[in-house]
Chains A and B, each alone.
Chain A
Amino acid sequence: MTKGIPYSEAVSRYQAVEERPLPDGDPDEAALLARFHPDNFADSVVDLKIGPNQGDRCHRALAEMLQADARIEEADLAGAPVVETDVLVIGGGGAGCAAALVAAEMGAKVTLATKLRLGDSNTVMAEGGIQASIDKNDTPRQHYEDTLKAGHNLGDPELVAAMVNDGPDVIRWLIQQGMQFDLDKYGDVMLRRAGGTSESRVAFYRDYTGLEMMRVLREAVFNSDVEVLEYSPAVELFADQSGDCAGAVLSSLKSFSHVMVRANAVILASGGIGRMHINGFPTSNHFGATGDGLVLAYRLGAKLRDLDSFQYHPTGLAHPRHLAGSLITEGIRSAGAYLLNAQGERFIDELKGRDFVSSAILRECAEGRGVVSSKEGIGVWLDTPRIELIQPGLLDKKFPKLVQLGERSGIDPKTKPLLVYPTLHYQNGGVRIDADGRSTIPGLYCVGEVSGGIHGRNRIMGNALLDIICFGRRAGLHAAGRTHGWNHKKVTMDHLSDHRRRLTFAGLDMDIKSPMLFPVCAKFDADSDYDGFHKSRKRE
């Protein structure tokens, strides 16, 4: 039973007001996270039983995928066509495209395989922008400190330093690919401030930053020498005689058959896990975000990190129900929108770190100060009318995607507040990498959301778009250097027999197959079109 104040009552009580005070006193931040952040929900975390991270904490749903059986066996590959390439990129979002473009520019033969279409990714959905210390009052040093601090000082300093140093050049590289940013009247890059940071550092294009980035990078890849294989999810990685990564098996959803790709280097850029809907949360993530890359890397023996740490973005739409989970950019709070409980009171500094703000929203809802819209729907107000009040016209001009979302919801954000609730947004952890994007397995690079260690246990707005381009370029450059001569004497999936033995010894369920590939709602494992592929019997 959800407690709180009914929507119609709360909305009739609401009035747009220019200024509202914050509650008195400093909140106990550690206690807030401990009690209300979903990472700390009872029973959501288990210890891994097998693999390189045996004994480490991991979210239950992810552990199930990491400790599942493969979707393929050696025998399935009889007669499968073989493609040979220098660099195989797995994933067609921003990180994959950046890696592919740079590797190809260095003269490597590059094949990019993606589960759906090129550009189908979380990148295209990013709204807020991309961080880079450009402002004259800002420095890479401040960017470095803000990033580490927001991540509770658990990020890898080497990775963070690499990222902040690359920041300005990443923006230049993107402009040279043909990406636009919002400029001021002098032609300077405009910057907004992210929650939990000390300076305005987020470059943006309206609230379509990701869309603008993705359509430009997709066009750049299609106009390059990169060979693109769409509808080709990777289902397993290959190892060579020394255990180095040597390629991947793709399951083509077009030809309903397997393709073996042998490569000198593999760059995994397969994204995050939002569509696992961990802890039962809605997600702002793309349909394809099912954590496939983590599974592939782990089975090959790559070390992962922070598998119990996820980001819940404070402002996912909570009402109407069919749009639940849709993201509303943090830029809107940066522009002055308050968060209000059902009584019309502010309850947290809206520009605190995302983990604090989300936890505070969950606290308001748990303690009966939420707005109840339906049987399952609850949330707090995002006070968008205040922006219209203090800066008339800004919503239309800088937040067109939000205005459209309002139209589809039947709610005008200029006059009525939107109901929001935290939405599963980002995987903070992932595959352990170095500053060239190298995992602990030679020949296997991991970039973008599939990698871990940059953001610690909490990411700030705009650092994801920077991370994907920064490390995508670095991995592309480094991987292209591995292409001199063919080093693999043998290309096998021997690691699978070891994996299966460990599963059996640990008493784990062999009926579950991974990677997940598609969200449960799409019923992939029940789809008769794909009968030739190994199905997960548990998930039908």
Chain B
Amino acid sequence: MSEEVQEKIVNVTINGKQIQAPSTLSAIQALWHAGYPRVKSVGCLEGVCGSCRVLVRKGGTAEVKMALGCQTLVEEGMEINFLVFPNPTHHTYDLKGIPNSWEVQAEFHRIFPEAVKCRHCHGCDVSCPKNIEVERGVQLATEGRFREAGELFVECVMCNFCMTACPEFIAPNHVGLFARRATAYFLFRPSNLIRRLEQMRQGQLTVAPGDDT
């Protein structure tokens, strides 16, 4: 195994600009390397914020893939286009507005009425840069299996690619996040935390600044 990564210079097209850059750079780094400013669609540069949405076509292929610009290393002949970030979803809800955990499923269908209309086109699955089983997650949520659905979205960075891809405007990532939030909101009741809160409420353990032990 060679440890020194070979730094090859490759030709890529980013936002229509012909760029030469070392193959060890990401799409964003390559753009900067070539002297182009780039401020928008840049975020954590670690693949967890979902800002730098790009369309990528590898050299000599016809297929266009969706990816994150900070996670995409440039390759010879690659074409990359940055996408603008979409508007927020039209779905709104307040967890406090759900009276109790028996009502979550009914409320879910009221908040996300499109979820049951899933055509199983796999657009969301194909577009996900984190390889999440998005479509299955939506399916589980429509069945009220929120905990299972939420588990599928652990790695979701809310890049909204699946929202862009969905022809039924389901906003699958927001479905996943709803499933996760409802699980915490209604089911997480840690006894160690509750005990400590009670002790704090009784003022037993409160720290006053400055006093010594």
Most buried by B among A177, A178, A529: A178
21 A-B pairs with CB atoms under 8 Å apart are A7-B4, A116-B40, A124-B48, A134-B193, A140-B200, A161-B209, A172-B193, A176-B95, A177-B181, A178-B181, A180-B150, A181-B184, A186-B191, A189-B192, A219-B174, A219-B181, A222-B88, A287-B45, A320-B5, A373-B4, A523-B32
Most buried by B among A116, A145, A408: A116
Number of A-B contacts (CB under 8 A): 184
Tell me, yes or no, whether A135 is within 8 Å of chain B by CB.
yes
Tell me, yes or no, whether B154 is within 8 Å of chain A by CB.
yes
Indicate if the CB atoms of A322 and B185 lie closer than 8 Å.
no
Indicate if the CB atoms of A286 and B44 lie closer than 8 Å.
yes
Given that A178-B181, A183-B190, A287-B42 are known contacts, is A116 also in contact with B51, CB under 8 Å in the complex? yes
Tell me, yes or no, whether B206 is within 8 Å of chain A by CB.
yes
Q: Report the minimum CB–CB distance from A406 to chain B (whole Å).
A: 13
What separation, in Å, do the CA atoms of A186 and B154 have in the docked complex? 21
Tell me, yes or no, whether A11 is within 8 Å of chain B by CB.
yes
If A8-B4, A141-B205, A224-B94 are given as contacts, then 5 extra A-B residue pairs at C-beta distance below 8 Å, sorted by A number, are A161-B207, A168-B197, A168-B200, A287-B43, A526-B37
Q: How many residues of B contact A (CB 8 A)?
A: 62
Q: Report the minimum CB–CB distance from B165 to chain A (whole Å).
A: 19
Indicate if the CB atoms of B158 and A180 lie closer than 8 Å.
no
Q: Return the contact of A8 from the options B3, B43, B183 (Cβ within 8 A).
A: B3
Binary CB contact string for chain B from 185 to 205 against chain A (1 if under 8 A, 0 otherwise) = 100111111011100100001
Tell me, yes or no, whether A502 is within 8 Å of chain B by CB.
no
Tell me, yes or no, whether A179 is within 8 Å of chain B by CB.
yes
The 3 closest A-B pairs by CB, nearest first: A178-B181, A527-B37, A523-B37
Pick from A22-30, A210-218, A354-362, A383-391 the stretch touching chain B.
A210-218
Q: Which residues of the other chain, A, contact B174 by a CB distance below 8 angstroms?
A: 219
Q: Report the minimum CB–CB distance from A392 to chain B (whole Å).
A: 21
Indicate if the CB atoms of A523 and B35 lie closer than 8 Å.
yes
Q: Which residues of the other chain, A, contact B94 by a CB distance below 8 angstroms?
A: 223-224
What separation, in Å, do the CA atoms of A120 and B181 have in the docked complex? 20
Indicate if the CB atoms of B92 and A189 lie closer than 8 Å.
no
What separation, in Å, do the CA atoms of A165 and B197 have in the docked complex? 10
Indicate if the CB atoms of B5 and A211 lie closer than 8 Å.
no
Given that A180-B180, A521-B32 are known contacts, is A124 also in contact with B44, CB under 8 Å in the complex? yes
Tell me, yes or no, whether B156 is within 8 Å of chain A by CB.
yes
Binary CB contact string for chain B from 43 to 59 against chain A (1 if under 8 A, 0 otherwise) = 11111110100000000
Within 8 A of A (CB), among B25-71: 25-26, 29, 32, 35-40, 42-49, 51, 71
Tell me, yes or no, whether A509 is within 8 Å of chain B by CB.
no
Q: Report the minimum CB–CB distance from B135 to chain A (whole Å).
A: 20
Tell me, yes or no, whether B73 is within 8 Å of chain A by CB.
yes
Q: Return the contact of B157 from the options A211, A373, A524 (Cβ within 8 A).
A: A211
Within 8 A of B (CB), among A162-176: 162, 164-165, 168-169, 171-172, 175-176
Q: Which residues of the other chain, B, contact A120 by a CB distance below 8 angstroms?
A: 43-44, 49, 51
Tell me, yes or no, whether A144 is within 8 Å of chain B by CB.
yes
What separation, in Å, do the CA atoms of A133 and B95 have in the docked complex? 27
Given that A521-B32, A526-B37 are known contacts, is A144 also in contact with B207, CB under 8 Å in the complex? yes
Indicate if the CB atoms of A322 and B207 lie closer than 8 Å.
no
Q: Which residues of the other chain, B, contact A160 by a CB distance below 8 angstroms?
A: 209
Q: Report the minimum CB–CB distance from B96 to chain A (whole Å).
A: 8
Q: How many residues of A contact B (CB 8 A)?
A: 79
Q: Which residue of B lies closest to A322 (CB)?
A: B24
Given that A322-B25, A523-B36, A523-B37 are known contacts, is A178 also in contact with B184, CB under 8 Å in the complex? yes
Indicate if the CB atoms of A168 and B42 lie closer than 8 Å.
no
Q: Which residue of B lies closest to A323 (CB)?
A: B46
Q: Report the minimum CB–CB distance from B31 to chain A (whole Å).
A: 9
Indicate if the CB atoms of A321 and B188 lie closer than 8 Å.
no
Q: Which residue of B lies closest to A157 (CB)?
A: B209
Indicate if the CB atoms of B188 and A180 lie closer than 8 Å.
yes
Given that A135-B192, A522-B42, A523-B35 are known contacts, is A408 also in contact with B209, CB under 8 Å in the complex? no
Q: Return the contact of A401 from the options B48, B191, B195 (Cβ within 8 A).
A: B48
Q: Which residues of the other chain, A, contact B184 by a CB distance below 8 angstroms?
A: 175, 178-181, 216
Q: Which residues of the other chain, B, contact A476 by a CB distance below 8 angstroms?
A: none
Indicate if the CB atoms of B154 and A206 lie closer than 8 Å.
yes
Q: Which residues of the other chain, A, contact B35 by a CB distance below 8 angstroms?
A: 523
Q: Report the minimum CB–CB distance from B208 to chain A (whole Å).
A: 6
Q: Return the contact of A287 from the options B3, B44, B208 (Cβ within 8 A).
A: B44
Q: Return the contact of B197 from the options A162, A169, A287 (Cβ within 8 A).
A: A169
Indicate if the CB atoms of A322 and B177 lie closer than 8 Å.
no
Q: Which residue of B lies closest to A163 (CB)?
A: B207
Q: Which residues of the other chain, B, contact A211 by a CB distance below 8 angstroms?
A: 48, 157
Indicate if the CB atoms of A161 and B208 lie closer than 8 Å.
yes
Indicate if the CB atoms of A518 and B39 lie closer than 8 Å.
yes
What separation, in Å, do the CA atoms of A158 and B196 have in the docked complex? 21
Binary CB contact string for chain B from 98 to 111 against chain A (1 if under 8 A, 0 otherwise) = 00000000000000
Q: Which residues of the other chain, A, contact B197 by a CB distance below 8 angstroms?
A: 168-169, 172
Indicate if the CB atoms of B51 and A117 lie closer than 8 Å.
yes
Most buried by B among A132, A162, A287, A529: A287
What separation, in Å, do the CA atoms of A171 and B4 have in the docked complex? 45
Tell me, yes or no, whether B182 is within 8 Å of chain A by CB.
yes
Tell me, yes or no, whether B85 is within 8 Å of chain A by CB.
yes
Q: Which residue of A lies closest to B92 (CB)?
A: A223
Q: Which residues of the other chain, A, contact B36 by a CB distance below 8 angstroms?
A: 523
What separation, in Å, do the CA atoms of A518 and B92 have in the docked complex? 33
Q: Report the minimum CB–CB distance from B161 to chain A (whole Å).
A: 15
Indicate if the CB atoms of A141 and B213 lie closer than 8 Å.
yes
Q: Which residues of the other chain, B, contact A373 by a CB distance below 8 angstroms?
A: 3-4
Tell me, yes or no, whether B16 is within 8 Å of chain A by CB.
no
